[in-house]
Structure 1
Amino acid sequence: MNYTRPKIAIVDANTLSVLGLKQLLQTVMPIMTVDTYGTMTELTANNPEQYMHYFVAMNIVLENRAFFSDHRRKTIVLTLSLASSSQLAEFHSICINVPEDQLVRQLLTLQQMAHGGGRNMPPMPPVLQQKILSDREIEVMALIVQGCINKEIADKLNIGLATVVTHRRKIMEKLGMKSVSALTIYAVTHGYVDINKI
Protein backbone atom coordinates (compact mmCIF):
# COMPACT_ATOMS: atom_id res chain seq x y z
CA MET A 1 0.00 0.00 0.00
CA ASN A 2 1.36 3.42 -0.95
CA TYR A 3 1.46 5.61 2.15
CA THR A 4 1.92 9.39 1.99
CA ARG A 5 2.73 11.24 5.19
CA PRO A 6 0.70 14.38 5.89
CA LYS A 7 2.73 17.59 5.79
CA ILE A 8 3.30 20.62 7.99
CA ALA A 9 4.98 23.84 6.79
CA ILE A 10 7.00 26.16 9.02
CA VAL A 11 7.33 29.67 7.58
CA ASP A 12 9.84 31.82 9.49
CA ALA A 13 13.03 33.66 8.54
CA ASN A 14 14.74 32.69 11.84
CA THR A 15 16.72 29.56 10.88
CA LEU A 16 17.54 28.46 14.45
CA SER A 17 13.93 28.81 15.53
CA VAL A 18 12.78 26.85 12.48
CA LEU A 19 15.24 24.00 13.07
CA GLY A 20 14.30 23.65 16.74
CA LEU A 21 10.56 23.76 16.03
CA LYS A 22 10.93 21.24 13.19
CA GLN A 23 12.66 18.79 15.54
CA LEU A 24 9.97 19.19 18.21
CA LEU A 25 7.11 18.84 15.71
CA GLN A 26 8.60 15.67 14.26
CA THR A 27 8.81 14.27 17.78
CA VAL A 28 5.27 15.34 18.73
CA MET A 29 3.77 14.07 15.47
CA PRO A 30 6.15 11.46 14.00
CA ILE A 31 3.62 10.72 11.27
CA MET A 32 4.20 14.19 9.77
CA THR A 33 6.68 15.45 7.22
CA VAL A 34 7.83 18.97 8.13
CA ASP A 35 8.94 21.37 5.38
CA THR A 36 10.51 24.74 6.15
CA TYR A 37 10.41 28.06 4.31
CA GLY A 38 12.07 31.39 5.08
CA THR A 39 9.50 33.48 3.22
CA MET A 40 5.90 33.45 2.04
CA THR A 41 7.17 33.48 -1.55
CA GLU A 42 8.92 30.14 -0.94
CA LEU A 43 5.73 28.66 0.54
CA THR A 44 3.50 29.81 -2.32
CA ALA A 45 5.99 28.42 -4.87
CA ASN A 46 5.60 24.95 -3.30
CA ASN A 47 1.85 24.24 -3.47
CA PRO A 48 0.74 25.58 -0.06
CA GLU A 49 -2.55 23.64 -0.23
CA GLN A 50 -0.67 20.37 0.33
CA TYR A 51 -0.08 21.25 4.01
CA MET A 52 -2.27 20.16 6.89
CA HIS A 53 -0.93 23.01 9.09
CA TYR A 54 1.19 26.13 8.77
CA PHE A 55 3.36 27.27 11.70
CA VAL A 56 4.07 30.88 10.75
CA ALA A 57 5.99 33.81 12.24
CA MET A 58 3.72 36.65 13.33
CA ASN A 59 5.23 39.17 10.88
CA ILE A 60 4.61 36.84 7.92
CA VAL A 61 0.98 36.33 8.96
CA LEU A 62 0.49 40.10 9.24
CA GLU A 63 2.07 40.71 5.83
CA ASN A 64 -0.08 37.99 4.24
CA ARG A 65 -3.24 38.33 6.32
CA ALA A 66 -5.69 37.47 3.51
CA PHE A 67 -4.06 34.10 2.76
CA PHE A 68 -3.81 33.03 6.41
CA SER A 69 -7.31 34.27 7.28
CA ASP A 70 -8.63 32.03 4.51
CA HIS A 71 -6.61 29.17 6.08
CA ARG A 72 -7.27 30.14 9.70
CA ARG A 73 -8.03 26.57 10.91
CA LYS A 74 -4.70 25.35 9.51
CA THR A 75 -2.58 28.27 10.79
CA ILE A 76 -0.66 28.42 14.07
CA VAL A 77 1.00 31.79 14.69
CA LEU A 78 4.46 31.77 16.29
CA THR A 79 4.60 34.59 18.85
CA LEU A 80 7.34 35.89 21.12
CA SER A 81 5.06 36.64 24.08
CA LEU A 82 2.55 34.70 26.17
CA ALA A 83 0.45 37.84 26.68
CA SER A 84 -2.94 37.53 25.02
CA SER A 85 -2.66 41.18 23.93
CA SER A 86 0.24 40.21 21.63
CA GLN A 87 -1.68 37.43 19.87
CA LEU A 88 -4.07 37.54 16.94
CA ALA A 89 -7.58 36.69 18.14
CA GLU A 90 -8.69 34.68 15.11
CA PHE A 91 -5.67 32.30 15.11
CA HIS A 92 -4.23 29.62 17.36
CA SER A 93 -0.87 30.80 18.69
CA ILE A 94 2.13 29.32 20.44
CA CYS A 95 4.87 31.29 22.14
CA ILE A 96 8.32 30.18 21.00
CA ASN A 97 10.18 32.41 23.46
CA VAL A 98 9.83 29.98 26.40
CA PRO A 99 11.90 27.12 27.88
CA GLU A 100 11.77 23.81 26.00
CA ASP A 101 9.46 22.07 28.48
CA GLN A 102 6.87 24.89 28.16
CA LEU A 103 7.07 24.83 24.36
CA VAL A 104 6.60 21.06 24.40
CA ARG A 105 3.56 21.48 26.63
CA GLN A 106 2.05 24.09 24.26
CA LEU A 107 2.59 21.80 21.26
CA LEU A 108 1.10 18.82 23.06
CA THR A 109 -1.93 20.85 24.16
CA LEU A 110 -2.41 22.10 20.61
CA GLN A 111 -2.06 18.57 19.22
CA GLN A 112 -4.57 17.16 21.73
CA MET A 113 -7.12 19.93 21.02
CA ALA A 114 -7.02 19.38 17.26
CA HIS A 115 -6.00 15.75 16.93
CA GLY A 116 -6.62 14.01 20.27
CA GLY A 117 -6.77 10.25 19.88
CA GLY A 118 -5.68 10.60 16.26
CA ARG A 119 -8.80 12.61 15.34
CA ASN A 120 -8.56 14.29 11.91
CA MET A 121 -5.31 12.44 11.20
CA PRO A 122 -4.61 9.65 8.72
CA PRO A 123 -3.85 6.25 10.25
CA MET A 124 -0.33 5.70 11.52
CA PRO A 125 1.81 3.36 9.42
CA PRO A 126 1.98 -0.14 10.99
CA VAL A 127 5.63 0.30 12.02
CA LEU A 128 4.69 3.30 14.20
CA GLN A 129 1.76 1.44 15.79
CA GLN A 130 3.86 -1.37 17.24
CA LYS A 131 4.33 -1.58 20.99
CA ILE A 132 8.00 -0.92 21.62
CA LEU A 133 8.24 -0.83 25.43
CA SER A 134 7.44 -3.51 27.98
CA ASP A 135 4.70 -2.87 30.56
CA ARG A 136 7.32 -2.16 33.26
CA GLU A 137 9.19 0.24 30.98
CA ILE A 138 5.93 2.07 30.32
CA GLU A 139 5.37 2.40 34.09
CA VAL A 140 8.91 3.75 34.57
CA MET A 141 8.54 6.14 31.63
CA ALA A 142 5.24 7.50 32.99
CA LEU A 143 6.88 8.29 36.33
CA ILE A 144 9.93 9.87 34.67
CA VAL A 145 7.81 12.30 32.65
CA GLN A 146 5.78 13.16 35.75
CA GLY A 147 9.02 14.42 37.32
CA CYS A 148 9.92 11.54 39.63
CA ILE A 149 13.60 10.92 40.38
CA ASN A 150 15.08 7.43 40.27
CA LYS A 151 14.69 6.79 44.02
CA GLU A 152 11.00 7.79 43.93
CA ILE A 153 10.42 5.49 40.95
CA ALA A 154 12.13 2.62 42.74
CA ASP A 155 10.01 3.18 45.85
CA LYS A 156 6.72 3.51 43.95
CA LEU A 157 7.31 0.41 41.85
CA ASN A 158 9.03 -1.56 44.64
CA ILE A 159 12.12 -2.25 42.53
CA GLY A 160 15.82 -1.59 43.02
CA LEU A 161 17.51 1.67 42.11
CA ALA A 162 19.84 -0.12 39.65
CA THR A 163 16.79 -1.64 37.95
CA VAL A 164 15.29 1.82 37.47
CA VAL A 165 18.54 3.08 35.92
CA THR A 166 18.60 0.06 33.58
CA HIS A 167 14.97 0.65 32.56
CA ARG A 168 15.70 4.34 31.88
CA ARG A 169 18.64 3.46 29.66
CA LYS A 170 16.68 0.80 27.74
CA ILE A 171 13.68 3.13 27.26
CA MET A 172 15.87 5.86 25.77
CA GLU A 173 17.71 3.35 23.55
CA LYS A 174 14.53 1.68 22.28
CA LEU A 175 12.87 4.99 21.47
CA GLY A 176 16.05 6.63 20.16
CA MET A 177 15.61 9.61 22.49
CA LYS A 178 18.13 11.71 24.33
CA SER A 179 16.02 14.02 26.50
CA VAL A 180 13.17 13.92 28.99
CA SER A 181 11.33 16.46 26.80
CA ALA A 182 11.32 14.02 23.88
CA LEU A 183 10.24 11.24 26.24
CA THR A 184 7.42 13.45 27.55
CA ILE A 185 6.17 14.07 24.03
CA TYR A 186 6.18 10.34 23.30
CA ALA A 187 4.38 9.47 26.55
CA VAL A 188 1.63 12.08 26.11
CA THR A 189 1.03 11.50 22.40
CA HIS A 190 0.77 7.75 22.96
CA GLY A 191 -1.70 8.20 25.81
CA TYR A 192 0.57 6.89 28.60
CA VAL A 193 0.43 10.14 30.60
CA ASP A 194 -2.20 12.86 30.81
CA ILE A 195 -0.73 16.24 29.87
CA ASN A 196 -2.23 17.70 33.06
CA LYS A 197 0.01 15.45 35.17
CA ILE A 198 3.29 16.82 33.85
Structure 2
Amino acid sequence: MDRRPKIAIIDSNTLAMMGLKQILQNVMPIMDVHNFRTLEDIPTNDVDTYVHYFVATNVVLQNRSFFLDRRRKTIVLTLSNDPNSQLKDFHCLCLNVPEEQLIRNLLMLEQHGHPHGEHFPDMPKALKAKILSDREIEVLALIAQGLINKEIADHLNISMTTVITHRKNIIEKLGLKTVSALTIYAVTHGYVDINKI
Protein backbone atom coordinates (compact mmCIF):
# COMPACT_ATOMS: atom_id res chain seq x y z
CA MET A 1 0.00 0.00 0.00
CA ASP A 2 1.26 3.48 -0.94
CA ARG A 3 1.98 5.44 2.27
CA ARG A 4 3.15 8.65 0.63
CA PRO A 5 1.44 11.82 1.82
CA LYS A 6 -1.30 13.02 -0.51
CA ILE A 7 -2.09 16.43 -1.99
CA ALA A 8 -5.43 17.28 -3.64
CA ILE A 9 -5.75 19.84 -6.42
CA ILE A 10 -9.37 20.93 -6.84
CA ASP A 11 -10.00 23.04 -9.93
CA SER A 12 -12.32 22.74 -12.93
CA ASN A 13 -9.54 24.05 -15.23
CA THR A 14 -7.98 20.79 -16.42
CA LEU A 15 -4.94 22.43 -18.01
CA ALA A 16 -4.12 24.42 -14.86
CA MET A 17 -4.55 21.27 -12.75
CA MET A 18 -2.24 19.20 -14.95
CA GLY A 19 0.46 21.89 -14.97
CA LEU A 20 0.29 22.43 -11.21
CA LYS A 21 0.41 18.67 -10.60
CA GLN A 22 3.61 18.40 -12.65
CA ILE A 23 5.23 21.31 -10.78
CA LEU A 24 4.16 19.98 -7.35
CA GLN A 25 5.60 16.56 -8.16
CA ASN A 26 8.90 18.26 -8.98
CA VAL A 27 8.86 20.51 -5.90
CA MET A 28 7.76 17.75 -3.51
CA PRO A 29 8.68 14.40 -5.08
CA ILE A 30 7.56 12.44 -2.01
CA MET A 31 3.96 13.62 -2.45
CA ASP A 32 1.19 11.72 -4.21
CA VAL A 33 -0.79 14.40 -6.11
CA HIS A 34 -4.47 13.86 -7.04
CA ASN A 35 -6.64 16.03 -9.30
CA PHE A 36 -10.36 16.66 -8.74
CA ARG A 37 -12.75 18.95 -10.60
CA THR A 38 -14.98 19.53 -7.53
CA LEU A 39 -14.86 18.84 -3.79
CA GLU A 40 -17.65 16.28 -4.28
CA ASP A 41 -15.34 14.23 -6.54
CA ILE A 42 -13.18 13.30 -3.53
CA PRO A 43 -14.45 10.08 -1.93
CA THR A 44 -16.03 10.95 1.46
CA ASN A 45 -13.85 8.52 3.45
CA ASP A 46 -10.74 10.01 1.76
CA VAL A 47 -11.45 13.69 2.32
CA ASP A 48 -9.28 14.15 5.43
CA THR A 49 -6.36 12.02 4.25
CA TYR A 50 -4.85 14.91 2.26
CA VAL A 51 -2.04 16.94 3.83
CA HIS A 52 -2.78 19.89 1.54
CA TYR A 53 -5.56 21.15 -0.69
CA PHE A 54 -4.65 23.42 -3.63
CA VAL A 55 -8.07 24.84 -4.49
CA ALA A 56 -9.51 27.26 -7.05
CA THR A 57 -11.03 30.36 -5.44
CA ASN A 58 -14.56 29.57 -6.66
CA VAL A 59 -14.42 26.07 -5.09
CA VAL A 60 -13.38 27.60 -1.74
CA LEU A 61 -16.22 30.14 -1.94
CA GLN A 62 -18.76 27.38 -2.69
CA ASN A 63 -17.46 25.24 0.21
CA ARG A 64 -16.21 27.94 2.60
CA SER A 65 -16.98 26.19 5.90
CA PHE A 66 -15.24 22.98 4.79
CA PHE A 67 -12.04 24.84 3.86
CA LEU A 68 -12.17 27.20 6.87
CA ASP A 69 -12.06 24.09 9.09
CA ARG A 70 -8.96 23.02 7.11
CA ARG A 71 -7.41 26.46 6.52
CA ARG A 72 -3.91 25.37 7.58
CA LYS A 73 -4.00 22.71 4.85
CA THR A 74 -5.60 24.91 2.19
CA ILE A 75 -3.80 26.95 -0.45
CA VAL A 76 -6.16 29.02 -2.59
CA LEU A 77 -5.27 29.28 -6.29
CA THR A 78 -5.81 32.83 -7.56
CA LEU A 79 -5.17 34.76 -10.75
CA SER A 80 -4.27 37.98 -8.97
CA ASN A 81 -1.30 39.00 -6.82
CA ASP A 82 -3.37 41.84 -5.32
CA PRO A 83 -3.86 41.02 -1.60
CA ASN A 84 -7.19 42.90 -1.68
CA SER A 85 -8.62 40.43 -4.18
CA GLN A 86 -7.43 37.33 -2.29
CA LEU A 87 -9.28 35.45 0.45
CA LYS A 88 -7.92 36.83 3.72
CA ASP A 89 -8.28 33.70 5.88
CA PHE A 90 -6.14 31.51 3.62
CA HIS A 91 -2.68 31.12 2.10
CA CYS A 92 -2.99 32.14 -1.54
CA LEU A 93 -0.92 31.21 -4.57
CA CYS A 94 -1.13 33.32 -7.73
CA LEU A 95 -0.96 31.16 -10.86
CA ASN A 96 -0.77 34.15 -13.20
CA VAL A 97 3.01 34.63 -12.89
CA PRO A 98 6.04 33.41 -14.88
CA GLU A 99 7.05 29.78 -14.24
CA GLU A 100 10.18 30.74 -12.28
CA GLN A 101 8.12 32.96 -9.94
CA LEU A 102 5.45 30.28 -9.44
CA ILE A 103 8.10 27.71 -8.53
CA ARG A 104 9.80 30.19 -6.18
CA ASN A 105 6.43 30.93 -4.52
CA LEU A 106 5.72 27.20 -4.11
CA LEU A 107 9.16 26.60 -2.63
CA MET A 108 8.68 29.52 -0.23
CA LEU A 109 5.25 28.17 0.81
CA GLU A 110 6.78 24.74 1.38
CA GLN A 111 9.67 26.15 3.42
CA HIS A 112 7.35 28.44 5.41
CA GLY A 113 4.87 25.67 6.17
CA HIS A 114 7.46 22.94 6.68
CA PRO A 115 10.72 24.53 7.85
CA HIS A 116 13.59 22.02 7.84
CA GLY A 117 11.16 19.37 6.55
CA GLU A 118 8.96 19.66 9.67
CA HIS A 119 5.81 17.50 9.46
CA PHE A 120 7.14 15.91 6.27
CA PRO A 121 8.00 12.20 6.10
CA ASP A 122 11.61 11.35 5.27
CA MET A 123 12.51 11.40 1.62
CA PRO A 124 13.25 7.97 0.15
CA LYS A 125 16.97 7.10 0.30
CA ALA A 126 17.24 7.27 -3.50
CA LEU A 127 16.11 10.92 -3.42
CA LYS A 128 18.40 11.80 -0.49
CA ALA A 129 21.50 10.14 -1.92
CA LYS A 130 24.32 12.42 -3.00
CA ILE A 131 24.41 11.99 -6.75
CA LEU A 132 26.50 15.02 -7.74
CA SER A 133 30.16 15.80 -7.09
CA ASP A 134 31.01 18.82 -4.93
CA ARG A 135 31.93 20.87 -8.03
CA GLU A 136 28.69 19.87 -9.78
CA ILE A 137 26.76 21.01 -6.69
CA GLU A 138 28.55 24.39 -6.87
CA VAL A 139 27.62 24.71 -10.56
CA LEU A 140 24.03 23.64 -9.86
CA ALA A 141 23.68 26.23 -7.08
CA LEU A 142 24.88 28.97 -9.43
CA ILE A 143 22.50 27.80 -12.19
CA ALA A 144 19.66 27.98 -9.65
CA GLN A 145 20.70 31.53 -8.79
CA GLY A 146 20.23 32.50 -12.45
CA LEU A 147 23.86 32.75 -13.57
CA ILE A 148 24.72 31.97 -17.19
CA ASN A 149 27.66 29.77 -18.22
CA LYS A 150 30.15 32.65 -18.57
CA GLU A 151 29.22 34.05 -15.13
CA ILE A 152 29.57 30.58 -13.58
CA ALA A 153 32.99 30.15 -15.22
CA ASP A 154 34.12 33.56 -13.89
CA HIS A 155 32.70 32.90 -10.42
CA LEU A 156 34.37 29.48 -10.07
CA ASN A 157 37.50 30.47 -12.00
CA ILE A 158 37.08 27.62 -14.50
CA SER A 159 36.74 27.54 -18.29
CA MET A 160 33.40 27.79 -20.13
CA THR A 161 34.03 24.31 -21.57
CA THR A 162 34.32 22.92 -18.03
CA VAL A 163 31.06 24.62 -17.01
CA ILE A 164 29.29 23.16 -20.04
CA THR A 165 30.68 19.69 -19.22
CA HIS A 166 29.51 19.98 -15.59
CA ARG A 167 26.10 21.17 -16.75
CA LYS A 168 25.80 18.22 -19.15
CA ASN A 169 26.81 15.77 -16.38
CA ILE A 170 24.29 17.32 -13.94
CA ILE A 171 21.47 16.99 -16.50
CA GLU A 172 22.43 13.37 -17.27
CA LYS A 173 22.76 12.36 -13.59
CA LEU A 174 19.52 13.99 -12.46
CA GLY A 175 17.46 13.51 -15.61
CA LEU A 176 16.33 17.15 -15.32
CA LYS A 177 16.61 19.37 -18.38
CA THR A 178 15.06 22.72 -17.48
CA VAL A 179 16.50 25.45 -15.29
CA SER A 180 13.24 25.37 -13.28
CA ALA A 181 13.59 21.65 -12.53
CA LEU A 182 17.28 22.10 -11.62
CA THR A 183 16.34 25.03 -9.34
CA ILE A 184 13.70 22.94 -7.55
CA TYR A 185 16.22 20.13 -7.05
CA ALA A 186 18.85 22.56 -5.72
CA VAL A 187 16.47 24.20 -3.22
CA THR A 188 14.80 21.00 -2.00
CA HIS A 189 18.20 19.38 -1.43
CA GLY A 190 19.54 22.41 0.44
CA TYR A 191 22.19 23.32 -2.14
CA VAL A 192 20.89 26.88 -2.48
CA ASP A 193 18.86 29.17 -0.22
CA ILE A 194 15.43 30.08 -1.59
CA ASN A 195 16.20 33.75 -0.93
CA LYS A 196 19.12 33.63 -3.40
CA ILE A 197 17.02 32.69 -6.41
Match of 1:68, SS state, is: helix
d(CA) in 2 for partners of 1:181, 1:188: 11
Match of 2:114, SS state, is: helix
Q: How does 1:40-59 map to 2 (within 5 A)?
A: 40-45=39-44, 47-59=46-58
d(CA) in 2 for partners of 1:92, 1:73: 8
Match of 1:73, SS state, is: coil
Shift of the 37–3 alpha-carbon distance from structure 1 to 2, 3 Å rule, reads closer
Q: Structure 1 residue 191: deviation in Å?
A: 1.1
Q: How does 1:1-198 map to 2 (within 5 A)?
A: 4-45=3-44, 47-198=46-197
d(CA) in 1 for partners of 2:57, 2:77: 6
The one-letter code matched in structure 2 to 1:179 is T
d(CA) in 1 for partners of 2:188, 2:12: 29
Moved more, 134-143 or 145-154: 145-154
Moved more, 59-68 or 127-136: 127-136
What stretches of structure 1 move > 3 A for 4+ residues in a row? none
Aligned length, in residue pairs: 197
d(CA) in 2 for partners of 1:108, 1:22: 14
Q: List alignment gaps of at least 5 residues for structure 1.
A: none
Q: Structure 1 residue 174: deviation in Å?
A: 1.3
Q: Cα RMSD over matched residues?
A: 1.2
TM-score (norm 2): 0.96
1:118-176 deviation per Cα after TM superposition (whole angstroms, max 9, x unaligned): 11111112111111111000000111111111111112112111110011111112111
The one-letter code matched in structure 2 to 1:174 is K
d(CA) in 2 for partners of 1:195, 1:37: 30
Q: List alignment gaps of at least 5 residues for structure 2.
A: none
Contact map agreement 1:11 1:43 (CA 8 A) in 2: no
The one-letter code matched in structure 2 to 1:62 is L
d(CA) in 1 for partners of 2:118, 2:48: 20
